[in-house]
Amino acid sequence: MQLTAPQFEKLSGYFIDLAKVWFASGVIGFFVSDTSRITFFTALGGAGISALFLIIGLLLLKNK
């Protein structure tokens, strides 16, 4: 099954939106929450995974 150009655009949009949500919950949530169970490494991991989702979305958009 081959994806069409609009399907690639929609799929890349999902990955880019996922990167935004992951960044908001993992990194920004680290700075505004007052819980002690969230560490610097949690924020760093959230930023890394968010960057990975963003790269995947941009690569899909580029290859459409």
Dihedral sign, Cα of residue 14, residue 19, residue 22, residue 23? negative
Between vectors from CA 49 to CA 64 and to CA 22, what angle results, nearest 5°?
A: 90
pLDDT in tens, 20-61: 998 888 777 666 666 666 677 877 888 899 999 999 999 988
Q: Which position has the higher pLDDT, 16 or 5?
A: 16
Burial of 59 from C-beta contacts in 10 A (0-12 / 13-18 / 19+): exposed
